[in-house]
Amino acid sequence: MSDPVNSIAEWLRTILASWGLSEGLITVILAVLGVVILATFVLVVDILLVWIERKMVARFQDRFGPNRVGPYGIIQPIADVIKLLIKEDIMPMGADKFIFNLAPIIALATVLLLWAVVPLAPTVIGADINVAVLYVVAIGSIGTLGIIMAGWASNNKYALLGAFRTVATMIAYEVPMIIALLIPVLLARSMGMQTIVNAQSPWYIFIVPLAAVILFVSSIAELGRTPFDISEAESEIVAGFHIEYTGMKFGLFYAGELLHALTVSALIATIFLGGWRGPYVDQLPLLGPVYLFIKAFLVYYLIMWVRYSFPRVRIDQMLGFNWKFLTPLALFLLIVVAILDKAMADVNTVWYVLVMLGANLLIVWGTMMILRRYARIERVRIAEERPVARAPESDNNELVGQE
């Protein structure tokens, strides 16, 4: 049982070699097979996510959710898929055909690309590149490209406006995300995912929880979910960049968004919660993915919880929050972690964890104090007397006199 995936790959390799294929071709075939299996598994989980999302939102809102189609409504997503498939495929007049069709494909494909660097078990990872963290950021940027293509190709000013706002916020929130991703890279001394997971003797969330929080908030903004969903605010700009999409194209956007949330949860679980680490994972590598998915769903539950608890923030509030709060905080945290890490280079682990944790909590406390002071000033400013509109003094005397 010592590594089922690689032993199956070796066995397939010997079979293909005995058929007389060349070395390079065998590698390509095995790689394609791995990609197909991983992508299929992830997409099947995606369908499950539709059900989870709807049940969860219902429970948060004190109602049942779909419970008629199958036991506990578990077949509801299949009904959704069938509905989307049989809808009419409308293309707006004047839309750019090729880009209009390409945008949802890019939106879903970039999410699938992210699964290539998620380590599922101690020796199972799609592609063990040593720049995996940067790769995650790169794929995120391609995702924003899909959105702007969708917005522009729809030939609709609301779609374009939604696309502009979305891309502006996504590019803005990449900055604290990158800085928050740099902190575990600094602690693990490498950008490769397996190295980061292997280096987490205490999980990084216990060493630098503030970085996890910053990454969490920036990721929610990157995903375009409430409270940062100004891009698809149903009550504001009528669904934003995917207004003109019907049928399965909209289904691709929707599924892509949910899958992106799960992928980001899996990445946060890998980088901060220890990924596939857990008891007995060395003897039984098959437990690796199980632990990873448990942690990923935990983070996904947090993301859903935040979604159904907060109201939407305005675009200027969102950008102000990013540039005036998150980015300076993330930079400051990076500097503090770097200095402390260098200063405690050969201190034993328990003290190291405690000092780092203490520094994080100190920064959080300091930030809270500063925020309270600013909130007090804001409250005073808002409570001032403001000029009130009132009607001009009307001269009713002559009207009375005329009667």
Partner 1 sequence: MTVMQVVFLVTAVVSLGGAVMVVTTRNLIHAALWLILTLFGVAVMYGLLSAPFFTVIQVVIYIGAIAILMIFAIMLTRRVKQEPGSSVNKGWWLAGLMALVLFTALVWMLSTWPGFQTTLPELPQDFDSIKVLGAALVSTEGYVIPFEIASVLLLAALIGSVAVAWERKS
Rule CB under 8 A: which residues touch partner 1? 24, 28, 96, 99, 129-131, 134-135, 137-142, 144-145, 148-149, 152, 160, 164, 167, 171, 174, 191
CB nearer partner 1, residue 135 or residue 321: 135
Helix or strand or coil: residue 149? helix
- Shortest distance, CB of residue 19 to partner 1, whole angstroms? 18
Nearer to partner 1, 135 or 254 (CB): 135
Q: For residue 64, what are the CA distances in angstroms to 55, 67, 73, 79, 81?
A: 7, 7, 10, 18, 21
Contact residues for 283 (Cβ-Cβ < 8 A; gap 6+): 1
**Which string of DSSP letters, residue by residue, matches 95-106?**
--HHHHHHHHHH
Smallest distance from partner 1 to CB 206, Å: 27
DSSP secondary structure string, 64-116? Answer: --S-SSSGGGTTHHHHHHHHHHTS-----TT--HHHHHHHHHHHHHHHHHHGG
C-alpha to C-alpha distances, 50 to 56, 175, 331, nearest whole angstrom: 10, 30, 36
Taking a C-beta distance cutoff of 8 angstroms, is the pair 242, 150 a contact? yes
Residue 130 and residue 280 in contact, taking contact as beta carbons nearer than 8 Å: no
> Using an 8 Å Cβ cutoff, are 249 and 161 in contact?
no
Nearer to partner 1 among residue 85 and residue 331 (C-beta): 331
Question: Which amino acid does the sequence have at 239?
Answer: A
In terms of CB distance, is 2 or 130 closer to partner 1? 130
Task: Rank residues 151 and 256 by Cβ distance to partner 1 and give the closer one.
Answer: 151
User: Across-strand partners of 124?
Assistant: 121
Smallest distance from partner 1 to CB 233, Å: 21
| Closest CB to partner 1 among residues 114, 210 | 114
For residue 237, the minimal CB distance to partner 1 (Å) is 17
| Least CB distance to partner 1 at residue 395 (A) | 38
* CB 24, min distance to partner 1, A: 4
Residue with tokens 């890279």: 185
The first and second tokens of residue 285, run together, are 């590598």
Q: Minimum distance from CB of 338 to partner 1 (Å)?
A: 12
Q: What are phi and psi of 121, to 5 degrees?
A: -155, 170
Q: Of 125 and 149, which CB lies nearer to partner 1 in the complex structure?
A: 149
